[in-house]
Amino acid sequence: MSKNNLSSTLVILRPMRYIWIYLTLSAAIIIPGGVSLIVNGLKLGIDFTGGSTIVWQVNESQDQSIRSLFQENNIEINKYDRIGEKVEIRTSPLESSLYSKLNSKLKETTSITELSYESIGPTLGAELLQKTLFGLILASALILIYIAYRFRSLKYGVSAILAMLHDLLIVVGVFSLLGKFWGVEIDTLFVTALLTILSFSVHDTIVVYDRIRELKKHHGYLDFEEIVNRAVVETMGRSLNNSMTIIFMLLAMYLLGGETTKWFIFALLIGTVSGTYSSTFTAAPLLVIWNKLEKKKKI
Amino acid sequence: MHNKRTLIFVIALTVLSLVIAAPKNYPVNFKLMGREINFILSSPEIHLNKPFQFDRTLNIKQGLDLQGGVEVTLRADMANISESDRKDALESAREVISRRVDLYGIAEPVITTKIVNNDYRLSVALAGVDDPATALELIGQTAQLVFAELPSSTDSASYADLIPTDLTGQDLTKSTVQFNSQTGKPEVGLQFTTEGGKKFAEITQRNIGKPLAIMLDGFPLSTPIVQETITGGKASINGDFTLEEVKNLVLTLNAGALPVPISILEQKNVAPTLGEESVQASLRAGLLGLGIVALFMILMYGYLGFIAVLGLIIYTLLTIAIYKLIPITITLPGLAGFILSIGMAVDSNILIFERMKEEVRKKIDPRTAMELSFGKAWDAIKDANTATLITTFILFNPLDWPFLNSSGMVRGFALTLFLGIIISLFTGIVVTRTLLRTFYVKK
Residue-wise pLDDT for A192-213, tens only, equals: 888 888 888 888 899 899 999 9
Which domains does chain B possess?
2-20+273-440 (1.20.1640.10)
How many Cβ atoms are within 10 Å of B175's Cβ, its own excluded?
27
Highest mean pLDDT among A148-162, B145-159, B369-383: A148-162
Return the SS3 of B225: strand
Give Cβ neighbours of residue B108 (< 8 Å, ≥ 6 apart): B127
d(CA A72, CA A120): 23
Name the residue among A116, A124, A135 with its Cβ closest to that of B265.
A124
A143: which chain B residues are within 8 Å (Cβ-Cβ)?
387, 390-391
Please give the mean pLDDT across all residues of chain B.
Answer: 82
Partner A contacted by B121 (CB < 8 A) = no
Residue-wise pLDDT for B346-359, tens only, equals: 888 888 888 888 88
Which domains does chain A possess?
18-45+123-294 (1.20.1640.10), 51-120 (3.30.70.260)
| Amino acid A12: pLDDT | 64
| Amino acid A8: pLDDT | 40
Give Cβ neighbours of residue B237 (< 8 Å, ≥ 6 apart): B187, B188, B190, B222, B224, B249
C-alpha of A200 from chain center: 10
- Amino acid at the residue A45: G
Residue-wise pLDDT for B207-227, tens only, equals: 888 888 888 877 777 888 888
The torsion region of residue B206 among left (phi > 0), alpha (psi -120 to 50) and beta comes to alpha
d(CA A109, CA A93): 25
Name the residue among B136, B392, B407 with its Cβ closest to that of A188.
B407
d(CA A147, CA A157): 5
Q: Check whether B319 has a pLDDT greater than 80.
A: yes
- Inter-chain residue contact B340 with A203, CB threshold 8 Å: no
**Which one has a higher pLDDT value, B41 or B241?**
B241
Report the candidate in B401, B406, B412, B297 with the shortest Cα–Cα distance to residue B345. B297
The nearest CA of chain A is from the CA of B369 a distance in Å of 16
Residues of chain A with pLDDT under 50: 1-10
Average pLDDT over residues B181-189: 85
B264: which chain A residues are within 8 Å (Cβ-Cβ)?
95-96, 119, 121
Indicate yes or no: pTM above 0.80.
no
Name the residue among A139, A198, A258 with its Cβ closest to that of B281.
A258
Per the CB < 8 A criterion, the answer to whether B145 and B215 are in contact is yes
Compute φ and ψ for A85, nearest 5 degrees.
-85, -5
Compute φ and ψ for B186, nearest 5 degrees.
-70, 145
Q: Check whether B370 has a pLDDT greater than 60.
A: yes
d(CA B332, CA B330): 7
Model ipTM value: 0.81
Average pLDDT over residues B123-150: 78
Omega prior to A32 cis, within 30 of 0: no
The nearest CA of chain A is from the CA of B339 a distance in Å of 7
| Amino acid A20: pLDDT | 87
B286: which chain A residues are within 8 Å (Cβ-Cβ)?
252-253
Burial A209-246 (b: 16+ CB within 10 A, else e): bbbbbbbeeebeebebbbbbbbbbbbbbebbebbbbbb
Q: Check whether B442 has a pLDDT greater than 60.
A: no
- Inter-chain residue contact A250 with B394, CB threshold 8 Å: no
Residue-wise pLDDT for B50-70, tens only, equals: 777 777 777 777 877 788 888
Name the residue among A119, A247, A253 with its Cβ closest to that of B267.
A119
Name the residue among B289, B384, B388 with its Cβ closest to that of A248.
B289
DSSP lists the bridge partners of residue B173 as none
Q: How much of chain B, in percent, has pLDDT values that exceed 70? A: 93
Omega prior to B327 cis, within 30 of 0: yes
Q: Check whether B305 has a pLDDT greater than 70.
A: yes
- Inter-chain residue contact A211 with B380, CB threshold 8 Å: yes
C-alpha of B184 from chain center: 37
- Inter-chain residue contact B347 with A202, CB threshold 8 Å: no
Partner A contacted by B240 (CB < 8 A) = no
Helix (H) or strand (E) holding B77: none
- How would you write chain A as a 3-class SS string? CCHHHHHHHCCCCCHHHHHHHHHHHHHHHHHHHHHHHHHCCCCECHHHHCEEEEEEECCHHHHHHHHHHHHHCCCCEEEEEEECCEEEEEECCCCHHHHHHHHHHHHHHCCCEEEEEEEECHHHHHHHHHHHHHHHHHHHHHHHHHHHHHCCCHHHHHHHHHHHHHHHHHHHHHHHHHHHHHCCCECHHHHHHHHHHHHHHHHHHHHHHHHHHHHHHHCCCCCHHHHHHHHHHHHHHHHHHHHHHHHHHHHHHHHHCCCCCHHHHHHHHHHHHHHHHHHHHHHHHHHHHHHHHHHHHHC
Return the SS3 of B239: coil
| Amino acid A299: pLDDT | 65
Give Cβ neighbours of residue B79 (< 8 Å, ≥ 6 apart): none
Q: Which residue of B has its CA nearest to A129?
A: B405
Q: Check whether B1 has a pLDDT greater than 60.
A: no
